Amino acid sequence: MKNETTEKEPVMIRQAEEILEEEPWYVSAMSSLSALLMASMADLNWAGFYLVREGRLVVGPFQGKPACIHIPAGKGVCGTAAAQDRIQVVPDVHAFPGHIACDSASASEIVIPIHRGGRVAAVLDMDSPVRARFSEEDAAVLAEIVRRMEQKILWD
């Protein structure tokens, strides 16, 4: 099931909410959310989470090929999003300085910081083999899912 039309994306928000309601513990919630995102959005080759741990990012629950396990602070798209605490929408990853190519199929990427107690605790990372895959509308929907995660997720 691939929801390609934007009017179906609010369904994805509701489904994300249901996952968080049923099990807010971060391992279960992030695993189920990565599966939901991968199944719901067209043209993805990776969807998942990196967690801030001991000053760097460590891979968390995801769907896709095995990826980089550690990302140094400030490096790549994920490290930049975490360090700057800013959503990154990258239409062409090959033009992004310091992009970390975990999967050579990736052409575009979106990364959204996730906060715990006002600090970046994790990021949502999604990759696509299609250039400029992620629209501003996608970013808004994904940011809303992240906002709900921030409200509900249990980190311990």
**What does the binding site for ligand SME look like in residue numbers (CB under 6 A)?**
46, 67-68, 71, 76-79, 99-100, 102, 106, 109, 125, 127
Q: First CA to last CA across the chain, in angstroms?
A: 32
Identify which of residues 10 and 98 has a Cβ nearer to ligand SME in the complex. Answer: 98
**Minimum CB separation from ligand SME for residue 67, in Å?**
4
Identify which of residues 6 and 84 has a Cβ nearer to ligand SME in the complex. Answer: 84
- Cβ burial of 58 (10 Å; 0-12, 13-18, 19+) is middle
**Minimum CB separation from ligand SME for residue 108, in Å?**
10
Cα–Cα distance measured from residue 31 to residue 42, given in angstroms and rounded to the nearest whole number: 19
Q: How would DSSP label each residue in 87-143?
A: -EEES-GGGSTT---SSTT--EEEEEEEEETTEEEEEEEEEESSTT---HHHHHHHH
Identify which of residues 8 and 94 has a Cβ nearer to ligand SME in the complex. Answer: 94
Q: Is the dihedral of CA 61, 62, 63, 68 positive or negative?
A: negative
Identify which of residues 55 and 117 has a Cβ nearer to ligand SME in the complex. Answer: 55
**Minimum CB separation from ligand SME for residue 78, in Å?**
3
**Residue with smallest beta-carbon separation from ligand SME:** 76
**Minimum CB separation from ligand SME for residue 84, in Å?**
13
Identify which of residues 9 and 79 has a Cβ nearer to ligand SME in the complex. Answer: 79
The dihedrals phi and psi of 10, each to the nearest 5 degrees, come to -60, -30
**Minimum CB separation from ligand SME for residue 52, in Å?**
13
